[in-house]
Structure 1
Amino acid sequence: IKTFVDNEPILEICFFGDKAYETTWRDALKPNPPHDWYKPSKSFFDKGKYPSTTVNPWSGEQASFEPAAPFDQEFYLIMNLAVGGNGGYFPDGIGNKPWKNFGSPGQASRDFWKAKDSNWGHTWKEDLSRAFAIDYVKAYDLC
């Protein structure tokens, strides 16, 4: 698993059995950048910098291999293209965003869909060359 900032990998996480190790890339532009492997100092949940209102589902009694959770057991890899969001990533009042970040549950989705014809619908073309495409997925080890 790699974390990227401005298309440059800054963190890579590998799993060996039920243990997780991570490395911070010192120079991502080199073909074999120097790096050291170490056990994570913080959980993946903490590294995700979720809003303070989000509860860590892998803390407490169910935390068996934390900080490796949730990657200490089988999981599904989901790849998607997301639109919008109301977690503050797209501030209110900037551009012509047709929803507010902190409305009632589901209100942002309803507002987004209502604005389809008047706001954003024309930008979603049928041309498949603009589609979200995945070139390949590598699996280095199967459990």
Structure 2
Amino acid sequence: MLSEKLVEVLAAVEVLHLPTTVELRRAYRHVGTALDYMRAHFSDIDTMVEVADACGISTRTLESAFRLVLGTRPYAVLTAFRLEEARRLLSRPDSAPTVTEAAIACGFSHLGRFAAAYRARFGEAPSTTRSRRGAVRHGPKDTARTFFQGAAEFG
């Protein structure tokens, strides 16, 4: 086809760089190592330099590998890990932390940015998730008991 020919021509004159199999394998390995590190240390990571150092590569190589393999930046993936953990903490039926405590525990230092990112990701404020957690804990049995206690007073 014409599009395939165009890609061949652009690659031949080095206008378009197509990754080789070796480059792809290397990129997948770098991304896998970085993901493992991010999962284990998501709340402690301050910069992508730390992640790159843990992988034994430069930040530029890390960025390139993420773009090639996942089509996104490493910081976006780190933020997603942090948000997922914050949601898990806020949803716990037992002693869930406050929104501030969850944000800080997950590595967010700016609470406004945390709340905006949380809302963009999950479609609700972190406080809504936390308050719904309370509603789940006081489920139908508690509601029925409250109703019958109130009815007994009238009667």
Output the TM-score relative to the length of structure 1: 0.20
Higher Cα Rg: structure 1 or 2? 2
